[in-house]
Amino acid sequence: MSVLVGVAGLFVAPALTAYMLADKVAAPDSKTQAGAWVNAAFNTGNAVGSASMGLLVGQLTLAASFAVGALPSLLGALAGMRKARRPADLSEREAPREVPADCRP
């Protein structure tokens, strides 16, 4: 069981790392919004995954259920590695521009 929990952690840990990445990359005035988007994506994926596995678990073997459950994470990781770029140093990023007074709410 410990091995299975460890393998499951391989797929959850990168998703949780997205919170730290969003906090580091987002502009100071949009950190909360960036975290909310990550949270919404994580919860939506969790809900869809749980619902779909609930439908499939009765029709698949346990090993096939784990393989199907890992597939979206693997595909996401492969897509991310394919388009991965090293971001520029965050300290060199432009400061947010001042919003003109006539455009403020």
Measured CA to CA, the distance from residue 45 to residue 19 in angstroms comes to 15
Q: Which residue has the higher pLDDT, 93 or 45?
A: 45
pLDDT single digits (tens) 50-90: 888 788 777 888 888 788 878 877 887 787 777 656 555 55
pLDDT at residue 10 tops 80: no
pLDDT at residue 26 tops 80: yes
Residue type (1 letter), 53: M
Report field, pTM of the whole predicted structure over 0.85:
no
Chain position carrying tokens 């919404």: 40
